[in-house]
Structure formats: structure tokens, C-alpha cells
């Protein structure tokens, strides 16, 4: 696939208001690399810098999550930007998408939007020592994610309660997010539907019934353990796992030194 054919999961737009820019993160958050200088994170930063000297960035999110390593990097890029960032959860901010939202200065949610938080997980292989290292790395990534949530919530959410929510893979309403300090403003309900990715939601245990109903509707493609769609998905995981592991040390270094 050529570079021009690679679809980004983000889109930057110049705002109609002078000094502002708009960023849309819709769909699955993925990691890719063309060469040593062109990764998705580098492309993201170049696109953000191309907006120029903006004082406000409007972030719009509707995503089921994806690559934890990619999301941590994107969140750090947004957090370091000098613009005042307002995140708008148009439908759903799940998994690592919720961590990206935590990088904003202000988070707004329509009353019918949702957020899902859980502990990070990954695909890995190797001997016992390598598997233990992978588990340790996940603990460190998880610790960074917890700090992202807690730095946003202040005294509204204790570390103990957060750990409970993460362990349970918790789906939160806008009001619950407001109560826990994960968002700042609850707005009127809107018509934006939470984005549905069957491949990604298949790994979640506690998907709300209304979202599960969409996945199981006659119009939705059904996945099974031996169908072509699932086989293709697993193949993509195998193909991208190497890149994820290569990126891990640089991401962890940024977490430790950031």
C-alpha cells in the first residue's frame, strides 16, 4: 500500500475563528511506520504544527480506542502544545481514546456520550523472562495512564476508586464522568452515534447493551473463530506487533523522563 493510500485516524482543519484549529479523532487509533522519520506520531505532530500559531485547539473524539502506545504519544503531543485545548466527546471515548482526552485543558460531553476506561493490554510472545518483562512494561504504561486520569480528576477520584474502575472495564455516562472529574461540562444530548468497531469491541467484556445490540444486528458482520474477517484481523495484529514492541522503549522513555 502506498503512503498516499494510508488513511490517518485524525484530521486537522483550520477553524473559521482566527487563532483556532480543529482536530478530529474518529475511529480506531492505530500505529504505522514507513521509515525511521515517518511514523504516525511524527505525521500527527507535523499536521498539528501546520495549523500555525493557534491559541485554541478544538478536539473532537469519537473512538473505541486502539494502540495504547500510539495514544500515549499523541496525548503527550497534545498536552505539550501551547494552545488551550477543549476536547469534545462526540459519541464515545473508549480505552486509550479516553487517555488522549485527558490531555485537554477542558473536556465537554453531551449527555448521551460515553467514556470507557480499563487497564492496558497487549499481544506478546516469547520465553518466561520476556513475558514477565511484557507484564512489567504494561504495569508501567498502566501507571502512566492512571496519572493521566488522576491529574485531571483532582480530589474527585481516589487512586483506589480509579483502580477499581479500571479493573472492571467501566463504561461511564457523561454525568458519571462529571461526578468523577473526568469531564468539566455536560451538554445537551446530540445525534452523534458512538462509533462501532466490531474488531475492537470484541475484546471488551462489559459493552453496554445498546452498543452490543448494534454489533449483533443483522446488518453487522458477524465474527467467529474461523471466519475470514477474524483471520485477517489476527494477521494484522501479528504484522503490527513487531512495530509496537519496537516503539515500546521510546514510549516508556518518554513516560519516565516526561
- Chain Cα centroid distance, residue 181: 18
Name the residue with cell 493521566. Answer: 148
DSSP secondary structure code for residue 81 in this structure: S
51 vs 25: CA distance, rounded Å: 16
Catalytic entry in 63, 118, 144, 148: 118
Q: Long-range CB contacts (< 8 A, 24+ apart) of 7-15?
A: 8/40, 8/43, 8/44, 8/47, 9/40, 9/63, 9/66, 10/44, 10/47, 10/74, 12/47, 12/48, 12/50, 12/51, 14/51, 15/54, 15/56, 15/58
123 vs 58: CA distance, rounded Å: 33
Catalytic entry in 95, 98, 144, 148: 95
Strands 106-110 and 84-94: parallel
Angle between helical axes of 40-49 and 68-80 (0-180°, round to 10): 20
81 is catalytic: no
6 vs 214: CA distance, rounded Å: 28
Question: Which active-site residues does the annotation give?
Answer: 95, 118
Amino acid at each position: 500500500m502506498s503512503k498516499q493510500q494510508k488513511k490517518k485516524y485524525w484530521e486537522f482543519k483550520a477553524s473559521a475563528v482566527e487563532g483556532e484549529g480543529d482536530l478530529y479523532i474518529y475511529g480506531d487509533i492505530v500505529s504505522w511506520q514507513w521509515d525511521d522519520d515517518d511514523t504516525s506520531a511524527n505525521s500527527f505532530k507535523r499536521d498539528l504544527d501546520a495549523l500555525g500559531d493557534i491559541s485554541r485547539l478544538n478536539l473532537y473524539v469519537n473512538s473505541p480506542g486502539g494502540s495504547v502506545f500510539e495514544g500515549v504519544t499523541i496525548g503527550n503531543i497534545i498536552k505539550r502544545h501551547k494552545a488551550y485545548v477543549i476536547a469534545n466527546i462526540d459519541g464515545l471515548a473508549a480505552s486509550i481514546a479516553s487517555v488522549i482526552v485527558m490531555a485537554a485543558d477542558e473536556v465537554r460531553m453531551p449527555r448521551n456520550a460515553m467514556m470507557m476506561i480499563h487497564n492496558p493490554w497487549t499481544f506478546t510472545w516469547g520465553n518466561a523472562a520476556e513475558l514477565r518483562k511484557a507484564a512489567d512494561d504494561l504495569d508501567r504504561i498502566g501507571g502512566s495512564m492512571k496519572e493521566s486520569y488522576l491529574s485531571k480528576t483532582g480530589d474527585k477520584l481516589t487512586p483506589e476508586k480509579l483502580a477499581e474502575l479500571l479493573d472492571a472495564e467501566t463504561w461511564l455516562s457523561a454525568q458519571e464522568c462529571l461526578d468523577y472529574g473526568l469531564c468539566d461540562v455536560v451538554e445537551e444530548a446530540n445525534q452523534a452515534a458512538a462509533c462501532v468497531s466490531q474488531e475492537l469491541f470484541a475484546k471488551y467484556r462489559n459493552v453496554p447493551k445498546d452498543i452490543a445490540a448494534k454489533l449483533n444486528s443483522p446488518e453487522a458482520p458477524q465474527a467467529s473463530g474461523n471466519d475470514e474477517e477474524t483471520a485477517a484481523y489476527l494477521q494484522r495484529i501479528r504484522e503490527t506487533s513487531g512495530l509496537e514492541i519496537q516503539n515500546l522503549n521510546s514510549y516508556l522513555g518518554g513516560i519516565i523522563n516526561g
